[in-house]
Structure 1
Amino acid sequence: MSTPPRLGLLSLMGLLILLALAVSGWQPYDRATWLMEVAPVLIAVPLLAATRVRFPLSPLMYGLIFAHCLILILGGAYSYARVPLGFWMQELMGLSRNPYDKIGHFAQGLIPALLAREILLRGGHVAGRGMAGFLAVCVALAVSAVYELIEWWAALALGQGADEFLGTQGDPWDTQSDMFLALLGALVASLLLARWHDRQLRALATH
């Protein structure tokens, strides 16, 4: 049976995130891009620390958030179009562009969907898990849409200076493919991870 993550493990993940932020922010490819890319991390980590006692999340949720933070930090350090892992993927799969940003958008669907599912079920906001899964996907798509709007606003405000943040690499369908990857991530969270998530939620309810 799963148990709530211990303070030591959460503290270790928090320290690793802070270390990754420090290393990535030392000499990033573009300082403004780095700040915009890691902004969600700078918001999420203090929020999670503040709510850890009052509303601890499932171990699965904390682990996925940790992974997502590292994805964002790495993307911020290099800018998404220049992440070495993406170049390796590009060569391996014979792609025309660096696909690292698609990992980020997949996570952008998976993590918000699972978080929404956890809040909906633990708060008793929905009666059935099917509805919780449906609403979780809707929330993830809403988050993805808002992020694309932020990218649009950044492009209008910064002009050519927003190119590194947008990371379109000349793809006219970048926005649509980003949202599609977010949808896939949300579906994975709501369908493939649901049973694992449910077991951890039941364990949390007993503590």
Structure 2
Amino acid sequence: MNQRQILWFAAIILILLLILSGLDPFDRATWLMEVLPVLIVLPILLMTYQKFPLTNLLYTLIFFHAIVLMVGGAYTYARVPFGFEMAQWFGLDRNPYDKIGHFMQGFVPAIAAREILIRNRILAKGKMLSFIVICIVLAISATYELIEWAAALVLGQGAEEFLGTQGYEWDTQSDMFFALIGAIAASVLLSKWHNRQISTLMS
């Protein structure tokens, strides 16, 4: 299969998983808020494919990030079964699945940001690019935390499932820290691979 066929196949899988996750979620409002990024990004990717196709690496990362969001939306982050298993493995007193979500919130946007910056010739590859990418990721993470704060103010106790703090007073700071770790990890582990794919795409 060529890239277009693979992407359409992946899009169909995500749509089916999205429908499945929304059939009987733990909390309908929480599900909607958690999967909203998927509902926004997926149509944008489909509409911009002709003019601005992304690297295979970035498409793959977005695919898995979407799955993480949909699983969190279906169960709520504090109730994802895999998170309870992780808590047992590592002797934790809270479900850590939300930290996977926030790690991905740094890992995937870092690659998206560097791809946009490089391909639009806004910044060249190097230390300044990595610094700006990390700043962008932290800005995204902070914006998400502000959205959670707004949801808490508007919904009151009804926002508890969306916030997923599980009684942890430093949840906001730790969420941003995991996004930071994700951004750094993506920059260190994937930059060379990503650069090769960008060079191939631009040539």
1:67 matches 2:64: yes
- Assess if the C-alpha contact under 8 Å between 1:28 and 1:34 holds in 2: yes
1:116 matches 2:113: yes
User: Which consecutive unaligned segments of at least 5 residues does structure 2 have?
Assistant: none
Distance 1:95 1:69 in 2: 26
Report the secondary structure of 2:59's partner residue.
helix
State the partner residue of 2:158: 161
- Assess if the C-alpha contact under 8 Å between 1:148 and 1:175 holds in 2: yes
1:127 is displaced (CA, Å) by 3.0
Distance 1:71 1:82 in 2: 13
State the partner residue of 2:181: 184
Distance 2:200 2:127 in 1: 20
1:132 matches 2:129: yes
User: Which consecutive unaligned segments of at least 5 residues does structure 1 have?
Assistant: none
Distance 2:200 2:124 in 1: 19
1:103 matches 2:100: yes
1:38 matches 2:32: no
* TM-score with structure 1 setting the length: 0.96
Q: How does 1:138-157 map to 2 (within 5 A)?
A: 138-157=135-154
**Aligned residue type for 1:176:** Q
**Aligned residue type for 2:157:** Q
Root mean square deviation, CA, Å: 0.8
1:43 is displaced (CA, Å) by 0.1
Which of 75, 91, 94 matches 1:94? 91
1:134 is displaced (CA, Å) by 1.0
1:27 matches 2:24: yes
State the partner residue of 1:196: 193
* Identity over aligned pairs, percent: 57
1:131 is displaced (CA, Å) by 1.4
1:192 is displaced (CA, Å) by 1.5
1:128 is displaced (CA, Å) by 3.7
State the partner residue of 1:81: 78
Runs of 4+ in 1 over 4 A off after TM superposition: none
**Aligned residue type for 2:67:** L
- Assess if the C-alpha contact under 8 Å between 1:37 and 1:76 holds in 2: yes
State the partner residue of 2:4: 7
Distance 1:141 1:203 in 2: 29
Distance 1:25 1:198 in 2: 37
The number of equivalent residue pairs is: 202
Cα deviation 1:38-67 (Å, max 9, x = unaligned): 000000000000111100110000000000
1:111 is displaced (CA, Å) by 1.0
Report the secondary structure of 2:94's partner residue.
coil
Distance 1:173 1:113 in 2: 24
Distance 2:161 2:8 in 1: 32
- Assess if the C-alpha contact under 8 Å between 1:133 and 1:191 holds in 2: no
1:93 is displaced (CA, Å) by 0.6
